[in-house]
Structure 1
């Protein structure tokens, strides 16, 4: 079960409202959420609904001073642009597709600049601006500036952390020292039971995916990496203080994938037990036939119990 609307039935009214073009109902759904993490999570998945920009544009026109409609619309514009760019390597993307991609991101950025100027502590807008910064290739310093502006008002926003982690990886101009350092920074600064520890697993997954041959095969098998993953899991999603939320499926998925790729099936078992038949596409989607591998890895893990 990888569709978040299946994994979290409470999100279904949001998808229904979006499909029906009912902008008022979409905004009412967000009004009932209790945290910036929930707003960012729901916004991310709302952006996947085809043609949702039409009702969001009407919502922006009806409530021009409200930061939420503009932020939701910007997230959708980013998604449209990234679909045009595709996940191909930059060298395989045509100039025309890059131009269209950047134009959609610039449309999003114009909305978000307004929101952040008017509402400088509005974390969801700063979070989406991490995506536009990456896509518009604004660099490491600007991405970090945006993250710092967001976290000054709302600390430990999970989606913002995962987005900045991507930016800090070598594939986006960063370094492994920066990526691993930021992951550890997030995990250490968060309270016990936070999902933030999964950033440690994501950093190791990203590192492993950049390697080739024997290095790729052995990286996650390294005992020091395994111990790093164990420590992060114990103080985050496996801690007694952990309270499952919408981001927890992705957090457990990251640990389950990292442990499984390292052959540490006993460690992965605790995460697969919590997940059941649920999984987040990211980071599993890095693997070819990832749904089949998820099932295979889960079976191997559960055999250790």
Structure 2
């Protein structure tokens, strides 16, 4: 650590300790996560930082330079359908949705991915809609929601311009009508109701109105994972709930099924982002004990697998379970596209810092 024999170094050390404390870390551990350039701001210019980064290759992990936040779709069938759509061919997407049938989680994931593509280019979608397909109606609704969020951007509310807000609400109004049309086209399908949950959050539905949409969704699929993710966001303090409501929803989900246990990890991250300690809570530890076996078993091919692994890696490091965290990073490989890494605005860096901490605390291979 820094020597404190002069005021210049003492002030630098205090600044480093404060920055580490804000992140729930010791100064030593925090210093290990910083690049030489970042550490330099805490070290007087006449000092040379001595921070040795771990060789992640010792744990079979890919080099730092290969890590990317580029969007990654692990399901090859979905990825191929989206690639075809972006090339102007909607038919592989249509065939995939027909094939998925009532695999509701995977169907919702495929519709979301195709909707994202449709938000960028709706020409293939218009051809698809001309066939009278209910699946095309679902993709259209999701595409309009994606377009609305593109207009709004991912900025915090105070940084969204009036013009962006106006465009956001205008497109969401169209999305609401399109979602209702998709519901009417396929009354038994929970997918449009999942889309409606996002519409409800964007259009600022009150709690009772949101619960009415939720009731329609769970009547069709009580364990719908993508819908639970959307609902958790609604109950966050940053939207229309509170920490208490968010945690209550996550607890209820955890009791329902292992595939919903990851929501408790998302809730912990949301709380930590607002300065509320949650990573080391009994709730988080229980969720980790439930979600880890699910990830390696029944949930191995679930669309939420990599997302849950990313949150689990973060939580495991926070709980000093670094060997287990390294195992999650082995599966994540180079992919730093999960939302948990993006809150700092530098996802690759957040991924690498957490990976470094995991390796520092892990048993040497």
Between the aligned partners of 1:96 and 1:229, the Cα distance in structure 2 is: 41
What is residue 259 of structure 2 aligned with on the other side?
195
More helix by share: 1
Question: Does the CA-based 8 Å contact 1:197-1:235 persist in structure 2?
Answer: no
What is residue 122 of structure 2 aligned with on the other side?
53
- How many residue pairs match? The answer is 293
Match for residue 113 of structure 1 among 175, 180, 183: 180
RMSD: 2.4
Q: TM-score, normalised by structure 1?
A: 0.86
What is residue 142 of structure 1 aligned with on the other side?
209
Which secondary structure does the structure 2 equivalent of 1:7 belong to? coil
What is residue 10 of structure 2 aligned with on the other side?
none
Between the aligned partners of 2:222 and 2:281, the Cα distance in structure 1 is: 32
Deviation (angstroms), 1:82: 0.8
Between the aligned partners of 2:251 and 2:159, the Cα distance in structure 1 is: 34
User: After superposition, where does 1:208-219 map in structure 2 within 5 Å?
Assistant: 208-211=272-275, 219=277
What is residue 206 of structure 1 aligned with on the other side?
270
**Can you give the 5+ residue segments of structure 2 that lack an aligned partner in the other structure?**
1-67
Question: Does the CA-based 8 Å contact 1:144-1:164 persist in structure 2?
Answer: no
What is residue 177 of structure 1 aligned with on the other side?
244
Between the aligned partners of 1:280 and 1:289, the Cα distance in structure 2 is: 11
Deviation (angstroms), 1:75: 0.9
Q: TM-score, normalised by structure 2?
A: 0.73
Structure 1 residues 4-13 or 128-137, which shifts more?
A: 4-13
Question: Does the CA-based 8 Å contact 1:250-1:279 persist in structure 2?
Answer: no
Which secondary structure does the structure 2 equivalent of 1:131 belong to? helix
Between the aligned partners of 1:278 and 1:87, the Cα distance in structure 2 is: 20
Which secondary structure does the structure 2 equivalent of 1:222 belong to? coil
Between the aligned partners of 1:203 and 1:289, the Cα distance in structure 2 is: 21
What is residue 333 of structure 2 aligned with on the other side?
276
What is residue 295 of structure 2 aligned with on the other side?
237
Q: 1:278 to 1:10 in 2, by over 3 A?
A: farther
Between the aligned partners of 1:17 and 1:108, the Cα distance in structure 2 is: 24
Between the aligned partners of 1:138 and 1:6, the Cα distance in structure 2 is: 31
Between the aligned partners of 2:195 and 2:177, the Cα distance in structure 1 is: 12
User: After superposition, where does 1:42-121 map in structure 2 within 5 Å?
Assistant: 42-49=110-117, 51-63=120-132, 66-121=133-188
Cα deviations across residues 80-115 of structure 1 (Å, max 9, x unaligned)?
111111122323323222121111111111111122
Between the aligned partners of 2:73 and 2:304, the Cα distance in structure 1 is: 14
Structure 1 residues 142-151 or 173-182, which shifts more?
A: 142-151
Determine which structure has greater relative contact order: mean sequence separation of CA pairs < 8 Å that are 6+ residues apart, divided by chain length. 2
Between the aligned partners of 2:284 and 2:236, the Cα distance in structure 1 is: 20
What is residue 316 of structure 2 aligned with on the other side?
259
What is residue 124 of structure 1 aligned with on the other side?
191
Between the aligned partners of 1:135 and 1:221, the Cα distance in structure 2 is: 28
Between the aligned partners of 1:33 and 1:89, the Cα distance in structure 2 is: 36
Q: 1:141 to 1:257 in 2, by over 3 A?
A: farther
Cα deviations across residues 127-167 of structure 1 (Å, max 9, x unaligned)?
01111111111122222221221111112111111110000
Q: 1:106 to 1:185 in 2, by over 3 A?
A: same
**Can you give the 5+ residue segments of structure 1 that lack an aligned partner in the other structure?**
none
Match for residue 288 of structure 1 among 345, 348, 352: 345
Deviation (angstroms), 1:234: 4.7
